[in-house]
């Protein structure tokens, strides 16, 4: 296993792209790198900011890994993230309303419901793909829009704060928030949860029969079918699991950081999970590495923005360039599996 | 008013229809629009002419589309992967140049807007209506249209009939890029007369959704985009009138309808059969 080598190459490649990007925008390279490094690692506050940014990137990235490894190109992470959080907020409101906010396991309950919400949202796209032959790209784009509007409706309607002034939910009490390690920093239990999920997903993909089937379907659905594995069923489950991970990401962002939902809740984490997963080679542990790199880069470039006009937008350039370079070099041209062919013969 | 709201989405959706008909789903539409909006503004600001701005916007949109085409058509890399990267690239590049050139915010850029031609209607809006009609004709009646549709339905047959699938798909992607660039340029020069970071705000994705809603027919796609424009303008009218309506549901309606159609009829026979599938010659 040359995991370390691959990780080293990934990191080296990303740093090269970072330097080239800084040069392309005529930013002072040495000073910029120092500002970015300080913003990401200089003290516990910087480390905390990096970890907080890494968390949603890692969870949505893992979500992408599951679906894409099964050959379903889910780009609906954003919608699944949002719908998961809406589901969670509904439970949160219920718990507060029932004066049960302090019950043990309240936050766990909310997180589970978030994952279910995300899974349901992704399941719609998976069902359309497997049973109706509709490209996941198209259905997830539609579902992303509906999710955003649903959020707008929820926070100005059924889930709105009790004062009914601002379109946002009530702030959750501390008893429902995820534990923080240090009162001064924002880093929360969700970061640990995300890392645990990376390990769990590694075990699932490489050490279980179900994980093996999932990879087989993504690599070669014909071989899977010959071996009595129904690619459609596997892909539908993969899509639901992927959505569950993105929904969980929404829940972790809600319970770990913001504590309330408003129209500014979606911060593109669902989309940004895609380049993270791709650069991690669709491998959970490498995805964790990529998520940490980009989390640190987001934290670092926020610091850069304080002293120079350039800011977090260069992270997008780096992600895009790195993805294009990566696929251009490695040629990710594996033909992807088609939707179930039985749909033509069995109208349902 | 409705036409003005609808025009950027309608233009981008019209171009995307041609691209999808040739079998390429250009996810980078949002990126082409954003690049179009930014470089149109930049060119118009430095030359003082909105017309040169329009051309620059189209060029920027086209350039990104060709980059996408090189990766997906020449190298056979997945369209979703490359499209996502193109969007990020445009978001990052326009955002960074904008910040480094014009400061973080504050300085409000304003450039000369496009002048109206008849009454309140300007040249781009006329072009939109003409191109929807023209493209319907090209797709349905011309030899090029037939070849384009064939590449989207069954590329092997098109190749066997002596057409170059790669060239036809490049034409399709180029159309998507040109229209998206124009759509973006219209957003900055025709509507706002300024630029803001990420000013397209998902309109490229709306356009892709409208292609599905319009069932891959240019005139229907145009109608779908006008409907979205109507829904959006109704939102402001309702808010201004103080009507307490869940307008989010109104806005979500076209997407819900598009989704319901997909649930009921599925991919159907209208969607190009080889959509989003890389074609490798002789495979």
Give the residue on A whose Cα is nearest the Cα of B279: A335
Q: Are A137 and B89 in contact (CB < 8 Å)?
A: no
Report the candidate in A256, A210, A240 with the shortest Cα–Cα distance to residue A63: A240
Question: What is chain B's Cα-based Rg?
Answer: 19
Query: Helices A136-156 and B203-213, interaxial angle, to 10°?
Result: 120
| Dihedral Cα B173, B176, B181, B187, nearest 10 deg | -160
Task: With CB atoms and an 8 Å threshold, state whether B206 touches A145.
Answer: yes
The whole-angstrom separation of Cα A29 and Cα A45 is: 24
Report residues of chain B scoring pLDDT below 70: 1, 103-110, 112, 119, 243-245, 267-269, 282-283
pLDDT digits (tens, 9 = 90+) for B41-85: 999 888 888 899 999 999 999 999 999 999 999 888 889 889 999
Contact across the interface for B82 and A138, Cβ inside 8 Å: no
User: Which pLDDT score is estimated for A343?
Assistant: 38
- Kindly tell me if the per-residue pLDDT of A345 is higher than 60: no
- Give the closest residue to A326 by CA, choosing from A9, A4, A3, A1: A9
Q: Does A34 touch chain B (CB under 8 A)?
A: no
pLDDT for B107 equals 54
CA distance B269 to B49: 45
Confidence (pLDDT) at B202: 84
Q: What pLDDT does residue B103 have? A: 67
**Contact between A323 and B81 using a beta-carbon 8 Å cutoff:** yes
Average pLDDT over residues A65-81: 95
Residue A341, chain B, CB below 8 Å: the answer is: no
Q: Using a CB–CB cutoff of 8 Å, tell me whether A9 touches chain B.
A: no
Specify if B273 maps to a domain. no
- Determine the pLDDT at residue A213: 95
Arithmetic mean of pLDDT, A331-339: 49
Mapped onto helix, strand or coil, the DSSP state of residue B122 is strand
Q: Which residue of A has its CA nearest to B258?
A: A142
Which of A73, A156, A311 minimises the CB distance to B80? A73
Tell me the nearest-neighbour CA distance from A343 into chain B, angstroms: 10
Examine residue B84 and state whether it is found in any structural domain, yes or no.
yes
Pick the residue from chain A with its C-alpha nearest to B267: A134
CA distance B123 to chain A (A): 30
- The answer to whether the CB of A60 falls within 8 A of the CB of A248 is no
- Which pLDDT score is estimated for A335? 45
CA distance A220 to A222: 5
B chain contacts of residue A128, beta-carbon cutoff 8 Å: 262-263, 266
pLDDT of amino acid B105? 52
Given a cut of 90, whether residue A1 has pLDDT beyond it is no
Chain A neighbors of B77, CB-CB under 8 A: 327-328, 331-333
- Confidence band for A308, pLDDT divided at 50, 70 and 90: confident
User: What is the distance between the alpha carbons of residues B148 and B275, in angstroms, rounded to a whole number?
Assistant: 12
Ordered alpha helix ranges (H), B186-274 = 203-213, 218-240, 247-265
Note whether residue B276 is domain-resident.
Answer: no
Chain A to chain B, count of Cβ pairs less than 8 Å apart? 165
B275 belongs to a structural domain: no
CATH classification of the domain holding B61:
1.10.3470
Q: How does pLDDT run across A166-209, given as a tens digit for each residue?
A: 889 999 998 889 988 888 888 899 999 999 999 999 999 999 99
Looking at the domain assignment, is residue B280 inside a domain? no
With a CB cutoff of 8 Å and minimum separation 6, the contacts of A156 are: A167, B246, B248
- Give me the interface pTM, i.e. the ipTM: 0.87
Residues of chain B in contact with residue A150, where contact means CB-CB under 8 angstroms, are 248, 252
Higher per-residue confidence, B191 vs A146: A146
pLDDT of residue B115: 73
Please name the member of A317, A328, A338 whose beta carbon is closest to the beta carbon of B96: A317
Task: Please check the confidence at residue A333 and state whether its pLDDT lies above 50.
Answer: no
Query: With bands split at pLDDT 50, 70 and 90, how would you rate the model's confidence at A348?
Result: very low
The yes-or-no verdict on residue A341 having pLDDT over 70 is no
On whether residue B206 sits in a domain, the answer given is yes
**Cβ contact, residue pair A313, B202, below 8 Å:** no
How many CB atoms sit inside 10 A of residue A201's CB? 23
Residue of B71, B267, B277 with shortest CB distance to A134: B267
Cross-chain residue pair A323–B246, CB shorter than 8 Å = no
Taking only residues 118 to 157 of chain A, the set having a beta carbon closer than 8 angstroms to any beta carbon of chain B reads: 124, 128, 131-135, 137-139, 141-146, 149-150, 152-153, 156-157
Task: For chain A, list the domains and their CATH numbers.
Answer: 13-344 (1.10.3470)
Q: How many domains does chain B have?
A: 1
**Residue in A closest to B99 by C-alpha:** A309
Q: Do A318 and B92 touch (CB under 8 A)?
A: yes
Task: Domain of residue B14: give its range.
Answer: 2-265
């Amino acid at each position: 296993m040359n995991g370390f080598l691959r990780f080293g190459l990934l990191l080296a490649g990303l740093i090269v792209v970072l330097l080239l990007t800084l040069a392309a925008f005529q930013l002072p390279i040495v000073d910029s790198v120092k500002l970015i490094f300080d913003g990401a690692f200089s003290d516990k506050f910087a480390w905390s900011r990096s970890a907080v940014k890494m968390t949603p990137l890692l969870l949505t990235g893992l979500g992408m890994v599951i679906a894409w490894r099964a050959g379903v190109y889910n780009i609906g992470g954003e919608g699944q993230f949002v719908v998961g959080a809406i589901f969670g907020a509904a439970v949160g409101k219920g718990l507060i309303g029932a004066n049960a906010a302090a019950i043990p396991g309240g936050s766990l309950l909310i997180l589970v419901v978030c994952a279910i919400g995300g899974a349901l949202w992704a399941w719609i796209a998976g069902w359309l793909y497997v049973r109706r032959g509709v490209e996941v790209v198209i259905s997830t784009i539609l579902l992303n829009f509906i999710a955003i509007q649903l959020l707008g409706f929820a926070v100005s309607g059924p889930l709105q704060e009790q004062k009914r002034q601002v379109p946002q939910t009530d702030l959750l009490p501390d008893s429902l928030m995820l534990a923080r390690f240090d009162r001064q920093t924002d880093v929360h239990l969700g970061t640990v949860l995300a890392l645990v999920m990376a390990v769990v997903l590694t075990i699932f993909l490489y050490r279980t029969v179900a994980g093996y089937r999932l990879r087989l379907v993504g690599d070669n659905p014909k071989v899977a079918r010959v071996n009595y594995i129904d690619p459609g069923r596997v892909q539908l489950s993969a899509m639901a699991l992927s959505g569950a991970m993105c929904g969980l990401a929404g829940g972790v962002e809600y319970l770990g950081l913001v504590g309330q939902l408003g129209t500014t809740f979606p911060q593109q984490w669902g989309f940004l999970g895609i380049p993270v997963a791709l650069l991690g080679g669709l491998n959970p542990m490498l995805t964790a590495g990529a998520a940490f790199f980009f989390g640190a880069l987001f934290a670092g470039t926020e610091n850069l923005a304080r002293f120079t006009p350039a800011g977090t937008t260069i992270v997008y350039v780096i992600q895009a360039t790195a993805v294009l370079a990566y696929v251009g070099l490695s040629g990710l041209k594996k033909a992807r599996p088609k939707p179930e062919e039985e749909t033509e013969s069995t109208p349902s | 008013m409705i036409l003005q709201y609808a025009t950027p989405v309608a233009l981008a959706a019209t171009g995307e229809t041609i691209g999808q008909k040739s079998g390429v789903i250009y996810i980078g539409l949002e990126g082409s629009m954003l690049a179009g909006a930014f470089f149109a503004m930049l060119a118009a600001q430095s030359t003082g002419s909105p017309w040169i701005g329009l051309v620059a916007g189209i060029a920027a949109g086209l350039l990104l589309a060709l980059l996408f085409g090189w990766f997906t058509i020449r190298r056979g890399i997945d369209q979703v992967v490359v499209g996502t990267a193109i969007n990020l690239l445009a978001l990052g590049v326009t955002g960074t140049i904008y910040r480094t050139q014009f400061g973080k915010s504050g300085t409000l850029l304003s450039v000369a807007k496009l002048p109206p031609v008849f009454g309140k209607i300007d040249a781009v809006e006329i072009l939109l209506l003409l191109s929807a009609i023209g493209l319907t004709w090209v797709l349905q009646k011309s030899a090029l249209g037939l070849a384009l549709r064939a590449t989207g339905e069954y590329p092997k047959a098109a190749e066997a009939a002596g057409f170059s699938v790669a060239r036809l798909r490049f034409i399709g992607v180029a159309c998507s890029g040109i229209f998206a660039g124009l759509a973006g340029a219209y957003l900055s020069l025709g509507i706002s007369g300024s630029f803001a970071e990420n000013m397209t705000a998902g309109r490229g994705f709306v356009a892709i959704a409208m292609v599905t809603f319009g069932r891959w027919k240019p005139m229907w796609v145009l109608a779908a985009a006008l409907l979205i424009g109507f829904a959006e303008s109704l939102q402001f009218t309702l808010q201004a009138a103080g009507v307490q309506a869940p307008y989010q549901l109104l806005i979500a309606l076209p997407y819900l309808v598009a989704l319901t159609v997909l649930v009921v009829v599925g991919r159907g026979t209208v969607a190009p059969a080889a959509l989003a599938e890389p074609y490798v010659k002789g495979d």
